Every structure is written in C-alpha cells, then in structure tokens.
Amino acid sequence: MFPPEIHASVLNQALPYIQEFRGQTFVIKYGGSIMNSPEATEGVIRNVLLLALVGIQPILVHGGGPEIDRWLERLGIEKKVSQGLRVTDDETMEVVEMALGRANKALAAKVVECGGEAVGLSGRDDDLMVAEPISEELGRVGKVSRIEPAVLRLITDNGWIPVICSVASDGKGGALNVNADSAAAAIAAAVGATKLILLTDTNGVLTDKNDKDSTISVLTARAAKEMIATGAADKGMIPKLEAAVSALEGGVPAVHLINGSIPNALLIEVLTEAGIGTMLQRVKVGE
C-alpha cells in the first residue's frame, strides 16, 4: 500500500489534464488478445468510467478476432486470410456478426456492472457506419466510406457510453466486416475526437520488435508512413499505424498506441506526465 501523500500527488498531477480534456471526446479501440482476459477487460472499463466521471466523453469501439475464430472452428468453417484480412463470404459474415454481437453486449454489460451506463451498437444501427467492399476476393470485407455521428452525439450528450462493434452497413441492408482500428479512426474523425486511443497487446510502436522496452514515445504521421513503406513496422502494427495516420489526416490531434494489458495504462497515458506508449501527431511540437 502506497502512503496517502503519493496517492494525493498522483491525483494532483492529473488535475491539469482533466481540466484540459473535460467536455472532449476520446475514441478508445479495444480488441485483440487482451479481450480474452476478464481482469484486463474490467481494468480497461474502470479506466473508461473514470474518464467519463471527470467529464470526458468516451466512445468504445471493439473488434473480436479471437472470438470469431473460436466460433468458426466450433461450426467447422475454415478460416481464410488474404492481404492480411479475413476473407468473409456470406456464411462467415453471419458468424462475424454473431460473434461480435455477443462480444458487444458482454462489453456493454460490463460497463453497467462496473457502475456506468452504456448502449451497445453495431455499425449497421441507423447506418451509423457505412462501408464499401474492398475487393471481390475478400468478399464482405469493407472500408469505411461514411460515419453518421448524430446517434453517437445523442448517446454521449445524455451521459451514456456508446460501445460499437466493427460491423458496417453496405448501404443496401447488408453487413460488411470492417477492421476495428480503421473503424475507430473513422469514428474519431467524424465526431471531432481529441484523441484516438488504440489499445494493443504491445508497448506501442517499437524500434525493435524483439525488445519490449524500445518504445518510441512520439511519432509523426510522416515517420509512421515511412515505417510502413520501409518494412520497419511489423505486419501486426501496420493496420494500426495506417488507422492512426488516417485519424490524424482526418483532423484528430493525437493518436495513442498503448498496451491495454498493463494495469491502468489508459489513465497513465492521458492523465499523467509520464505516458506509457506511443503518441502519434501530425507534426512534432515546434515544427
């Protein structure tokens, strides 16, 4: 147990950040392997609720690849991947929507269990997220073309937390499977979010993928593009960097990549001087 003065010091350090961000919107993407840990999930939700209680408006976006894989295996449906994306035929799309729908309601229920108020949504609800198919080969895999933020504003303005799964409408009554990082980036740009926070299972962007302590603290959009082009970013990090760049180019001032499995990582990154992951900006301060 830490002495009371340390707790008080940490709270005092958070004050200017709370004052700066009060009334602003953070879009937080949660997914991947960390969703399999009940402890990590509860920790993230409690962090999100604390942000909400100090006046920040959080929007939670999630995927659920491991859950989809489990259901495909259980139903005897072969998983196919092309271009680093899940090939999604009509049968697979049904499984994707079912698995993400279950994950969505469980996550929204966890927010309520921890004392918050949440509304679980699919991108298909009221055509909140509309996408276009990427290619015939990938089937029902889409790239976001339009976000309708009015329903999100209605929810956040009334004190609820939107919890959105990454299934989009094709604009014709059908569903498309969308990468959750790119979905979160599109939503962040559409609602004018101050921050997009991508929770991952690594300590941000690393200079050496084999050294978890080689985190790059600050990265510009240009540097992120160079890492993608030169192969300096590994395959798992590329879609996250692409989403981050997309959000920055869409007007989001800062994107944070942090390890969601670290206790209280979200609070450390945005409410303390230290930070814990990688912050991406359009340009470095002073340039």
Q: Give the DSSP letter of residue 77.
A: P
Q: What angle do CA 79, 83, 88 make, to 5 degrees?
A: 40
Residues constituting the chain: 287
Q: Which is the catalytic residue, given 123, 195, 240, 260?
A: 240
Annotated active-site residue in 31, 63, 64, 65: 65
Backbone angles phi, psi at 228, to 5 degrees: -70, -45
181 is a catalytic site residue: yes
* 284 catalytic per annotation: no
DSSP state of 206: B
Of the candidates 117, 128, 111, 202, the one whose C-alpha atom is nearest the C-alpha of residue 165 is 128
Annotated active-site residue in 29, 110, 116, 123:
29
Q: Is 29 a catalytic residue?
A: yes
Which of 31, 32, 43, 139 is flagged as catalytic?
A: 32
Strands 57-62 and 161-169: parallel
Q: Catalytic annotation on 240?
A: yes
Separation of alpha carbons 267 and 25, rounded Å: 15
Residue of 31, 139, 142, 181 marked catalytic: 181
Q: Which residues are part of the catalytic machinery?
A: 29, 32, 65, 181, 240
